[in-house]
Amino acid sequence: MPTNKEIDKSLDKISKKISFFAINPVNEEAEKKKFFKDKKYQPVFEYEPYTHDIDKLQTQLRDVSPDNSELGKILKQARNIYYANLNMIKSRGKDNFTKYSILCYGAPDKDLVKEARKILKSKRPIKEKKDLTTAQVISRMKYAFIKYGFSWKIVEKEMAACAAVNGKKKELIIKKGQRFSKKFLKRLIVHEIGTHILRTENGAHQPYKIFERGLPNYLMTEEGLAVTNEEINHCLDIAILRRYAARVIAVDTALKKGFRKVYEELTKYLDKDLAWRTTVRVKRGLGDTSKPGGCTKDFAYLRGYFAVKRYTEAGNDLQKLYYGKVGIQHVEMLDKIPGLVEPELLPTFRYLRYFIEHFEGLLKSVILLDIPPFNLTFRLIKNNIKGLSLRKMFNGKK
């Protein structure tokens, strides 16, 4: 019988062949033009052929049999979720896609929808000036990665979301051809680096791979913690909270109606471009988007925010959520899993090699100060030049 550690490695190999990005349509821009040209048109999405043999992967998953220890129970749940993920990918463009999406991510309840509508009744926010190009955002994010000592890649891609993290490939993905505000850049650092990437890196230091790729149903906590970090670092404003509330309404409406009805509902609260992108997010996975259903993942942001808020208000320590990609429901199990180490990287931005700097220091240096040329910055750090203070270069301080 394979040990749980061996099973963990096997599941890790399988998980690397399961990509959420496979449900993003490849013809979004073409369908967008048709949609705005014809007021009755409903997009028809197409998807790239999946590069892996899904049936073979599911056979491998059926052969996995963890024991009944705490870790074993987690591995069993992971096996079942991976199986459902593959069914979801297999069902792209088909009517049963929604069933597997709900199995993977759940669906919003009436109370959450009610809370979302309350938020959306708030005063409409003032539009932010979007004066940063994708290239400028990438340059600043590279700088942030250097300061943290991460070797992640930053790539441009056409997609519905403005940004996303692919932990398996250690990539931060930025939407191609988009313009961004400085506040969005701050939020990007807090949300993507201060939450998703830190949890991934801490998980990589654990003896079990599942802490890096994500424990079962970790997503709600992952996104809720990201929103909480935005709030802590003063970049969660009403515009952002409204966006997350709108995603709840989008998922709830999409389960009952077609693409255009979802879009029309969202235009009550969002501008046309954001309403389009939000609708694409909840209707991706379908072929004929005139039908009810879609991807239910996006309600996790607001629901997770409330869950993490309750967790912190009860006096619990957020540090526990940085053992890796864990959920609030896993915190009590951590002490029962042998070999786990305390998280080394926290969103106070601790530098083991050079110095200790609070998260706010990074945000100021990336957003408010002039950034040295990327290649120069890299050489200075790599060679540790004594003649120039790293603290001065990074923080503008002597």
pLDDT score recorded for residue 185: 87
pLDDT at 100: 95
Q: Which of 116-120, 228-232, 258-262, 279-283 has the lowest mean pLDDT?
A: 228-232
Query: Could you give the CA distance from residue 163 to residue 375 in angstroms, rounded to a whole number?
Result: 24
pLDDT at 370: 45
Asked whether the predicted pLDDT for residue 375 surpasses 60, the reply is: no
Alpha-carbon distance values, 23 to 89, 224, 306 (Å): 7, 23, 27
Write down the pLDDT at residue 354. 35
- pLDDT confidence tier of residue 123, bands split at 50, 70 and 90: low
**At which residue do the structure tokens 């996995």 appear?**
64
Which range has the worst mean pLDDT, 45-49, 242-246, 321-325, 344-348?
A: 344-348
pLDDT the model gives residue 214: 93
- If pLDDT is split at 50, 70 and 90, which confidence band does 140 have? confident
The full 3-state SS of 288-330, as one line of letters, equals ECCCCCCCCHHHHHHHHHHHHHHHHHCCCCHHHHHCCCCCHHH
Q: State the pLDDT at residue 167.
A: 79
Mean pLDDT to the nearest integer, 200-207: 94
Regarding predicted confidence, which is higher, 27 or 383?
A: 27
Whether the per-residue pLDDT at 18 is higher than 90: the answer is: yes
Q: pLDDT value at position 282?
A: 98
Instruction: Check residue 191 and report its DSSP letter.
Output: I
pLDDT confidence tier of residue 374, bands split at 50, 70 and 90: very low
> What is the percent of the chain with per-residue pLDDT over 70, rounded to a whole number?
86
Residue 384 confidence (pLDDT) above 50: no
pLDDT of residue 392: 37
Question: Can you tell me the mean pLDDT for 184-204?
Answer: 89
Find the range with the poorest average confidence among 54-58, 82-86, 146-150, 174-178: 146-150
pLDDT surpassing 70 at residue 70: yes
- pLDDT at site 366: 61
Which token pair is 386? 């004594």
Average confidence (pLDDT) over 215-234: 88
| pLDDT (0 to 100) of residue 14 | 96
> Which tens digit of pLDDT belongs to each residue from 332-367?
999 999 999 999 888 763 333 333 344 556 666 665
Summarize the confidence of residues 100-112 as an average pLDDT: 95
Average pLDDT value for the chain? 85
Residue 143 near residue 172, CB atoms below 8 Å = no
What is the pLDDT at residue 184?
85
Q: In this predicted model, what pLDDT tens digit does every residue of 276-320 receive, in sequence order?
A: 999 999 999 999 999 999 999 999 989 999 999 999 899 898 889
Taking the C-alpha atoms of residue 139 and residue 201, their distance in angstroms, rounded to an integer, is: 21
Query: What does the pLDDT read at residue 162?
Result: 83
- DSSP H helical segments within the chain, as ranges? 4-15, 28-37, 54-62, 70-90, 97-105, 110-120, 134-148, 182-188, 198-204, 210-213, 219-232, 238-254, 259-266, 272-283, 300-313, 359-367, 374-383, 390-395
Q: What is the pLDDT of residue 318?
A: 87
Residue 95: what residue type? D
- Domain locations along the chain: 4-336, 368-395
